[in-house]
Structure 1
Amino acid sequence: MKGTKLEYFDGSDGGRLYIHSGLSGNRVKGSWRQKHTMVKLDQVRGKNTKLHYGFKFRWADNYDEMRQILYEEGLFDIRIVPGMTVPSDLKAQFSLHTQNRIDSIISEFPENTRISYLGEKLPHHYVYEVEFSKLGENMLTVHYDGDRHTYLEFFSTEPVETLIKKRASFIVNKQQHRDTTKWYNGLFSIYDMKEGVLRGPDNTGGFEGWNGYVLACDDPALCKAPFVAAKNVYYPVDEEIEAVEYYIEHFVWGGLQRTDMEEPYPYGIYGVPNWKAARDIWTRTGIRSGQLDRMQIWRSYDYAHIAMLYYHMYQIAKMHPDKVKYLNANEYLERAYQTARAFFIYPYEIWGEYYETYKIGCYNELVIEKIIEDLEKEGRKNEAGWLRNEYEKKVKYFIYDDEYPYASEFPTDRTAFESSYAFARYGMMNIMKPDTNLWFDKVYRKWYSHPVIRKEDARNFMERQHYAGLAVRGWLETTYFQLGADNSMSYMAKMGGWSILDYGMYFAQLPYDWLQLGYASYLSSWALMNTGTPESDYGFWSPGEQNDGAMGWAYVSSKGGRSRNRSIMGRGARIYCGEADLGNGAALRIATTVLSNDPLFGWIAYGGNIEQNSQGFEVIPRDGIRNRFSIITEKRRISIEFERDGFLKDDKITIDNSLNTIGFKIENRSGDKHNTHLVVITLPASTIEVRLDNRKLKPVKISDTKLLFDLDIIDRTHNIEIIFSANLNY
């Protein structure tokens, strides 16, 4: 009904919704983005004695129908690119699809916001561009039909590249314990940005007993070093690499992780609440009463984090052997392999009734595919074959053996959709063999066999898991903490966002919806970072230079709530970083600049600045790592990626109007002479020519759609030109 609105919800179970919240909302301390309104009914004078509010419920079969219903009912169907978390070096566009008359759009900070009307691109689709110069929350109020209004809640961050570098530096300089007298020497732990202190086993901040896992193991503590290692694959910094190696040598090896000499179960990883307690049976009895007869190395999820850590250290050691001091490349790859091997064996063997490794999605386990590839490149065929066989057991289970394979730590888990998509993608991109009695399920007492393996089965599963994943992700919402995010804008926003963006880029017949949603997911949870400039006092959530680079675990959307340690906190980013760096690690797998011709917004560059001229396009990458670039339309799919180095900072990539010629400069990020690889992915039957400083390079064919080119990097920069033979109507 016209005039009906919702302005507030509380933090109760299920969340009560309020049309007017002047009483209930004002009882709760904290900030809220809408006014708590009240209406007084005057029964004595007979005026204003009644108010009429109403809601209509309509069925919709899909998201397009939902959008159409919003339009038909006099509301707004809103689309936004590249997302509602907007880095300061990017602009956003939004479309208001409505029958209403737009009177004005008013920004919260007019002096720091530029809004431009771009026109009615399609009938009743009114498109605007917005640019923010004030960091933090930025609300736009859309006034329409005289006395009505609605809101768009954006968040402005520093550039993504700045965020990535600041976060890694902050972890190394503010979040590592270095005290040789402590059992946790080398540990990366959680940072309390409210108090400005590093927490740890001797300064718990309330994380006691079993909850001590937050400080020294499990996802909150184990996610930090893998992210720092992954970041240094793209931007190597000696001090950061040294800190990660210190962590591995002093905290992981022989502490968190059993060494290769510790029998039984070498390479096993200890769990809750920390390795010191888990290694001591008497300490364990004071924390838990069950499974005391089993070695506490059963948590599947932990293995994937450490395998990822070792794998990225292998990459760094391979590219920069002079920068690593603890292990060499072969030794890091061996640890990555052995940790991945233990992942498939130990949890299921020790506590398979609960940790059914082949049946649950585990964050970061998709890195095992990369470990397999590099084992093969290094000539370790037997190890690669063993690991591939175990990985394919899991892929086949997800595709064929479970009608609802979306479980992780919970029966319906946002975490699962990174893995479910990775398995579907693997099934599409690889040839798997039929099998009989592949593995025995000791819980259900049955064998799994797959007499017929078809790529179309993987494709069907890809579609099914894709749409299942949308159920736990904001798509029609118009707040930065909902669009593209899970319900708390956690690490799962980016992890699941990768699956949506990759699906749109490489598998969806019509890519445009999924480019929009996938990129919004990538950008969304960067809003949890507390960073800034001197003018913004170095952070929106917890100002002060000492917190510049801190990060919130997730987002509290209610006005008041409680943290994991029972402390009361208000709306906004949680004060502890917790599991957030899981998402940051995933971000380095997602980061790319994508040129696309959107049906509504026209030519846009996700993660980049775009200029169009008579010759074609100029795109400056702003995605955070400047290492990948794609052109994605309905009929053209072109992607390029460097093994190391990247596009020259602040320099343009040029693309001609036919999309057949791409030119750019590569920057030498290590400053030495070295070889790197350029991978080009395009449609089958395309002919590709690559020139380095006008010298034609010889390709190595990887598949019908993928070519690899060797680049000898000698100078600070080199010119590269890529020419495609395809001349399609894009």
Structure 2
Amino acid sequence: MTLPRLPALAALLLVGAAPAMPVTPFAVGALRGTLRADTQTLARLSPAAEPGFSFVPTAREAERAGDGYNHVGDIDIRLRSGNGPWRDFGSAHRRRPIRPLPAVRGTIAAADITATMGDGIPLAVERRWVVAGGALGLRFRLTNRSNAPVEIGGLGLPMAFDNIITGRDLDQAHAQSSFADPYIGRDAGYLQVTRLSGKGPTLLVLPGRDTPFEAYAPLADAADAPAGSVFTEKTPREQTFEGFYDWLVHSRGFAEREWRGAGEQWNLPTSRTIAPGASIEIGLRLVTAPSIRAIEPTLIAQRRPVAIGIPGYVVPTDQPATLFVRAPATIAVIDSSPAGALSVRRDGTVHGWTRLAVTSHGFGPARLTLRYADGQRQTVSYYVIRPLDATMAALGRFATTRQWYEGKGDPFGRTPAILTYDHEAQRIVDVEPRVWIAGMSDEGGAGSWVAAMMKQLDHPEPVEVAKLERLVDETVVGRLQVADGPHAGGVRKSLFYYDPARFPTLYRDPAQWKSWTAWSVRQAGDLGRSYNYPHVAIGHWVLYRLARNHDGLVTRHDWRWYLGWAQRTIVAMMRDAPHYTQFGQMEGNVFLDILADLRREGMTVEADTVEALMRRRADHWAGLRYPFGSEMAWDSTGQPEVYDWLRHFGYDRQAVQTREVILGYDPAVPSWGYNGNARRYWDFLYGGKYPRIERQIHHYGSTNNALPLFDSFRRDPADLHLLRVAYGGLMGGITNIDSDGFASAAFHAWPDRMRWDPYSGDFGMGYFAHAYAVATYLVDDPIFGWLGFGGAVTRDGGDVTIRPRDGARTRLFVAPAGQWITLEAGRIAAARYTPADGTIVLTLDPADAHTPRARLSVIRTTPRGHDYAPTTGTAERGGVTLPLGTGPTEVTLSPIG
């Protein structure tokens, strides 16, 4: 086809603030863009309907025009001849003039770029920008012009999309920046480039033939790269710039060098040999999906294999899972690695989707490979875990035994305590130059005791509860939180601090203590960081719930004492740490439950005080375009609390906008690592043993950002995308728990490590959200049919039964009825739903020594439908109290009216 040439004025408008250099404009499908005439790399890529926005760093084109700056259209190659050493060549490393080639029909621009690849390359490299099936295509031809075979062990295409937040405020970042999330699935892999605002369109980068998405490797900071490497980027990586990555078609050359000793890669590293005089071709296609939710339909329209895991890709060994697959070719072979980790049974088809029943065995990461009849291979990454009851039991044991710190004559007052743990060294971290990590506060130090506390909410263990009562009484209230008349005086930043004059032999290696992180006693005692207050409020709130709903578990104080301290902690935050309260707090969702409990208990004055303080915050957020700030330039920590208070005070439009922003950085992809993995990339600096800017897998953002998505799904059960992403984050956030109960802060995503960080760090901030929200969801989807998220579904005549296996078994959402069922005491063994009359019959576990009665609440979450009520029980505190017997107890919930 003949491409239209835009007039000069239009070309200038497209370029906007880009450098005054010649460009080649193009228009393909729903995309408009320009190529730099000198390098033929992508200078702008805009949706046709929004020419002022660009997916690539157009606004920085001038400053990024020189050597060492990567652009879409560049290529990196690692190769060797015979048994020689690997050598690197790259088009961006040292720019030299390229030789344009004739643009034949369907070609936008073509060039021989061999000269800019570097001296001594044995390959000729040609690049073409083409129109391929109505989409923008990027193709490379590599020809071996030497007399010996050439092995390609690293073949990378830089994915330089505009994730540079540096120099932009929040409004500008949400309007102009994008995040790229990978599905590293070989021939079915793709990259989705989503805007920070969550708005469409979304850009999809798809593989051409022989261009599998084998690995996703960061382009190293040029200043830190080893000599001779060209897999680098000159734009400095920092909190406002995660860095760029290479789409690696082959990666064996890295596996043999930089990645040696790392954990298992997402795919087996491969290489490819080109015979003398022979050529290979690789390429990508760029298309748009109209919205984030339309990504999978767009992939199907583009004839790409699509896999959807229900409930996701984290599979406890006692729970069933299903993989729905839709592809142009039939599945010929299914392989599991490790062998036997995943058993797959073909289970028919549904509306054009192949249904695969998946069961899991063992523990740890596992990979399914689907081999299609047309030769393509798709990999789906799973993580196998133990049954959730066993997982939570191990977490509680580990935290209250191996992390328990007491009786050591600690001069900092950290006794009793649960401190950060180094799983690699098998020891408690009681001294650390980042003093909060050893100081029980801030996220990196409070994470372990918060996790231990939240474990008791759904899995109370008397011995553990007794220890945590002591921790709260003697250390949190006695040391971290200071009494000031009837109010909480504040929450310290750290109990541990740096004072070499007082403790001359304590701080080893003085060079490590020169950083700002080595707080003095005055700095550590500061009350002004509001992010610390939810940690303490959680401790009080969990013990209140246990004291109120169970017999004999909490003995030091009554429930009023704990709920009162929880309320005073909120008031103290607003009084003593007002600056950061303008932002949402991680774990701040607990404040809504504290408010609701105050109301249920008749503590009206205290509740009114909290509600008035929170309304000021919500009113402020409702007036902002993007109210998601934090102490960082961009963050994914505040959105969950912001969403909840906006909903509470009736700012529904702003709450919906908050939800859509979350979807912009929280993807749904067929990988345990990236599915529901809300973007985090700098907190290894503050809570990890190996600190660096690096995409973190299932840091605490995964579970925290699931909270608004769960709430939104309960309001709109037709939007399955919300539930899939939320459940991915919920379950992804507990893959951090090892088989012995140790819980890591996060997984290192870069392929040179691919392991869990050895520090427990801030894991507890994410486990808070898991314990807070874990539930079973019963869904009747128009495409996939009856689905269970967190439980096994069976059908008997007209009845549908789900048996929860979510670990807590205290929360159940029956989507067709729009009913949110929660228990503050008691556990659900099964639920039977009868669609014909809407009846729900719960089977509850027998009573035990601490739980003689159940506390049940039923809420209708959707505008349509009926309210429900149990046919038995005593109304109390906004719910119903039911006696439990020595055997199972059945409770019938019937529609009212």
How high is the TM-score relative to the length of structure 2? 0.66
User: What is the match of residue 596 of structure 2?
Assistant: 373
Output one character per residue of 1:156-194: Cα deviation in whole Å (capped at 9) or x when no partner.
Answer: 101122212221221111111011511321121112222
Report percent identity of matched pairs: 18
Instruction: Quote the residue 2:446 is aligned against.
Output: 222
Deviation at 1:677, TM superposition (A): 2.7
2:802/2:832 contact within 8 Å kept: yes
Could you tell me how far 1:295 is from its partner in structure 2? 6.2
Selected match of 2:308 from 55, 59, 79: 79
What's 2:576 paired with?
Answer: 346
Question: Which SS does the other structure have where 1:409 is aligned?
Answer: coil
- 372, 377, 392: which one aligns with 2:615: 392
Which residues of 2 match residues 193-592 of structure 1 at below 5 A?
193-201=423-431, 207-208=432-433, 210-213=434-437, 216-260=440-484, 266-272=488-494, 274=496, 296-320=526-550, 322-348=552-578, 352=579, 355=580, 357=581, 359-398=582-621, 400-427=622-649, 455=650, 458-475=651-668, 477-487=669-679, 488-505=697-714, 507-508=715-716, 510-531=718-739, 548-560=740-752, 570-592=753-775
Are 2:883 and 1:712 aligned?
A: yes
Q: Residue 552 of structure 2 contacts residue 850 of structure 2 at CA under 8 Å; is this kept in 1?
A: no
For 2:272, what is the secondary structure of its paired residue? coil
Distance 1:293 1:58, change over 3 A: closer
* 1:72-121 CA-partner distances (Å, limit 9, x unpaired): 33322321110111111112112222223322222224444321222331
Q: After TM superposition, give the deviation of residue 658 of structure 1 in Å.
A: 2.1
Correspondence for 1:137: 365
Deviations 1:609-664 (A, max 9, x none): 1111114122211011111122103xx3012111211124xxx3222242622223
Who wins on radius of gyration, i.e. which is larger? 2
Partner of 1:68: 297
- Tell me if structure 2 keeps the 8 A contact 1:255–1:275: no
Query: Aligned in 2, Cα 1:697/1:259: closer, same or farther, shift over 3 Å?
Result: closer
Q: Which amino acid aligns with 1:593?
A: T
Q: Deviations over 1:490-510 (max 9, x none)?
A: 1111111122122111x2262
Measured against aligned partners, the alpha-carbon deviations of 1:436-475 in whole angstroms (never above 9, x if no partner) come to: xxxxxxxxxxxxxxxxxxx4xx221122111100121121
Matched with 2:80 is: none
Q: Which has the higher contact order (CA 8 A, sep 6+)?
A: 1
Maintained 8 Å contact 1:638/1:681: yes
Distance 2:519 2:870 in 1: 63
Q: Is the 8 A contact 1:90 1:608 kept in 2?
A: yes
**Letter aligned with residue 381 of structure 1:** T
Letter in 2 for 1:523: M
Change (3 A) 1:292 1:322: closer
Q: What is the aligned residue count?
A: 634
Alpha-carbon distance change, 581 to 119 in structure 1, aligned in 2, over 3 angstroms: same
Letter in 2 for 1:361: G
Correspondence for 2:819: 638
Secondary structure of the residue aligned to 1:386 is helix
Call closer, same or farther: CA 1:669–1:416 in 2, change over 3 Å. Answer: farther
User: 1:597 Cα shift?
Assistant: 0.7
Distance 1:614 1:8, change over 3 A: same
Structure 2 equivalent of residue 445 of structure 1: none
Query: Cα RMSD (Å) of the superposition?
Result: 2.9
TM-fit CA distance, 1:195: 2.4
| 1:321–1:329 Cα contact (<8 Å) kept | no
Partners in 1 of 2:867 and 2:266 — Cα distance?
54
How far apart in 2 are the matches of 1:311 and 1:276? Answer: 32
- CA shift, 1:39, in A, is 2.4
Q: What CA distance in whole angstroms lies between the structure 2 residues aligned with 1:593 and 1:655?
A: 14
Aligned pairs for 1:29-48 (under 5 A) are: 29=260, 30-31=262-263, 32-43=265-276, 46=277, 48=278
Q: 1:74 to 1:674 in 2, by over 3 A?
A: closer
Deviations 1:41-78 (A, max 9, x none): 333xx3x2x22111111222202432233223332232
Q: Deviations over 1:224-243 (max 9, x none)?
A: 33333333233332211111
Q: Does 1:723 align with 2:887?
A: no
| One-letter identity of the residue aligned with 1:104 | V
Please give the alpha-carbon distance, in whole angstroms, between the structure 2 residues aligned to 1:673 and 1:119: 44
What is the identity, as a one-letter code, of the residue corresponding to 1:690?
A: P
The 8 Å contact of residues 583 and 638 in structure 2, kept in 1 or not, is answered as yes
Report the Cα distance in structure 2 between the residues aligned to 1:639 and 1:147, rounded to whole angstroms: 46
Measured in 2, the distance between the counterparts of 1:669 and 1:14 equals 56
Residue number among 681, 696, 699 corresponding to 2:859 in the alignment: 681
Whole-angstrom CA distance in 1 between matches of 2:214 and 2:851: 60
Partner in structure 1 of residue 785 of structure 2: 602
**Cα distance, 1:687 vs structure 2:** 5.7
Deviation digits for residues 285-318 of structure 1, max 9, x if unmatched? 9957999799611110100110111111112222
Match of 1:106 among 335, 339, 349: 335
Residue in structure 2 matching 1:163, options 391, 397, 401:
391
Q: Is the 8 A contact 2:457 2:771 kept in 1?
A: no
Tell me the alpha carbon deviations over residues 542-578 of structure 1, each in whole angstroms, 9 at most, x when there is no partner. Answer: xxxxxx1011110111122xxxxxxxxx212111111
Deviating more after overlay: 107-116 vs 165-174: 107-116
Report SS of the residue matched to 1:52.
strand
Structure 2 residue aligned with 1:7: 214
Aligned counterparts of 1:667 and 1:149: Cα–Cα separation in 2: 45
Q: CA 1:298/1:54 → structure 2, altered by over 3 Å: closer, same or farther?
A: same
More displaced 10-residue stretch of structure 1: 580-589 or 246-255:
246-255
- The question of whether the paired residues in 1 share the 8 Å contact of 2:439 and 2:497 is answered with no
Residue 643 of structure 1: SS of its match in structure 2?
strand
Alignment pair present for 1:88 and 2:268:
no
Does the aligned pair in 2 maintain the 1:233–1:644 contact within 8 Å?
A: no
1:175 equivalent in alignment to 2:408: no
Q: Match of 2:417, SS?
A: coil
3-state DSSP of counterpart to 1:407: coil
Letter in 1 for 2:380: L
CA distance in 2, matches of 1:490, 1:363: 12
Bigger mean CA offset, 676-685 vs 161-170: 676-685
Q: Give distance in 1, aligned partners of 2:636 and 2:780.
A: 30
Check whether the contact 2:255–2:269 (CA below 8 A) recurs between aligned residues.
Answer: yes
Q: Which has the higher helix share?
A: 1
Change (3 A) 1:68 1:661: closer
- Structure 2 runs not aligned, ≥5 long: 1-207, 221-242, 508-512, 680-696
- The 2-side partners of 1:700 and 1:252 are apart by 32
Residues 260, 286 of structure 1: CA spacing in aligned structure 2 closer, same or farther, 3 A cutoff? Answer: farther
User: What is the CA–CA distance in structure 1 between the aligned matches of 2:807 and 2:772, rounded to whole Å?
Assistant: 11
Letter in 2 for 1:376: R
Structure 2 vs 1, CA of residues 331 and 610 (structure 1 numbering), >3 Å: closer, same or farther?
same
Q: Which whole-Å CA distance do the structure 2 matches of 1:592 and 1:659 have between them?
A: 24
Q: Displacement, 1:6?
A: 2.5
> Which of residues 655, 658, 665 in structure 1 aligns to 2:833?
655
Quote how far apart the aligned CAs of 1:131 are. Answer: 0.8
Q: In the alignment, is the contact (CA less than 8 A) between 2:498 and 2:519 conserved in 1?
A: no
Indicate how the Cα distance of structure 1 residues 616 and 322 shifts in structure 2: closer, same or farther if over 3 A, else same: closer
For structure 1, the 5+ residue unaligned runs are: 202-206, 428-454, 532-547, 561-569, 703-707
String of CA shifts for 1:391-426, please: whole Å, max 9, x gaps.
11112222x221111123323312122112212321
Residues 244-303 of structure 1 show CA distances to partners (whole Å, capped at 9, x for unaligned) of: 1221233222322212359xx85211114737879x9x9999957999799611110100
